[in-house]
Amino acid sequence: MPHCLKTVLDEAVKIVNMIKGKSLNTHIFKVLCDEMGSEHMKLLFHTEVRWLSRGKVLTRLFELRDEVKLFMHQTDELYDRMHDFQWLATLSYLADIFSFLNSLNLALQGETVTIFTVQDKIKAARIKMDLWCTRLDRLEFDNFPTLADFLLTADEVLGNDTIAAFKEHLRGLHTHLGRYFPELDVDLEWIRNPFGDKPQIELVSSKLSARETDSLVDIASDGSLKMAFREKSLTDFWIYIQPEHPELAQSALKILMPFSTTYKCEVAFSALVSLKTKQRNQINVAPSMRLRLSSLEPDIQSVMQNMHQHHSSH
């Protein structure tokens, strides 16, 4: 992130934390918003936010900018920022780009997300960023709705240095996303679509053993498996055919099973935070975590019945 954008982000966080850091400020600000008929009554506290929800914090701050102007005193360190057009324009851009990244992050989460899903989403995001840079050269801001609305109502022109910073940021995001999510080998396409024709099978046969290639031919020629492929998720499909084609299915699952994102780690951390309370501050949380994260539903009634029988026998 360019220094000027990082400065605006840090200053926005300071403003939010200044208002939310004291209960009296929060109460006064709520009363002010209520009297002005504002859609929102409070700001989101930055330090309480997880994942990429920072976009929600910036969006809320921008939407309540008029209320924040009235709340802040002239002696406040960052008072002038809420009256600075370029600063507010940068804030609106950051709100839009973080909201976009938050949506992208959500699209990469879930039990059925595979490395192929992630690759498709990241590829689309990087192409969009290239297009956005081109549109910024033409002073088109439709891809940044908050910024576009602000420029329309403010009736001022965005500075060239600010636009250049936006483009530098988008190019940096484009580069880093490509580094974190490198493109997949085209020879792995058979995992996503095992029903290719003869030329496609011959193309990937050099990466597979003779037995795996024969299994791929059998799968591609099986009409009933095509129906199963449409009805099941990609991972479930390869597990389904594993008994009949063990070697090929194992090769596919080695690619599909590893975590494609940190989603499950984030879910585990969230579960841990809810478990480690003052009331339940136990040292060993492994059993509770296992229950919380497992996709299996425990049969509580049977467990309780067995325990009752066990105690009755004694």
Q: What is the pLDDT of residue 48?
A: 41
Q: What is the pLDDT of residue 205?
A: 83
Q: What is the pLDDT of residue 127?
A: 94
**How far is CA 309 from each of CA 248, 265, 286, 297, 298, rounded to the nearest angstrom?**
47, 39, 27, 22, 18
Q: What is the pLDDT of residue 76?
A: 67
Per-residue HEC secondary structure of 110-125 comes to: CCCCCHHHHHHHHHHH
Q: What is the pLDDT of residue 93?
A: 92
CA separation for the pair 226, 252 (Å, rounded): 17
**What is Dmax (Cα atoms) for the chain?**
84
Asked if 265 and 293 touch (Cβ cutoff 8 Å), the reply is no
Dihedral of the alpha carbons of 88, 89, 90, 94, in degrees to the nearest 10: 100
Q: What is the pLDDT of residue 56?
A: 73
Q: Is the dihedral of CA 23, 29, 34, 40 positive or negative?
A: negative
Q: What is the pLDDT of residue 135?
A: 94
Q: What is the pLDDT of residue 54?
A: 57
Q: What is the pLDDT of residue 265?
A: 73
pTM as predicted: 0.74
Q: Which residues of the chain are under the pLDDT cut of 70?
A: 20-55, 71-76, 259-263, 277-283, 309-314
Nearest to 122 by CA among 167, 176, 172, 168: 176
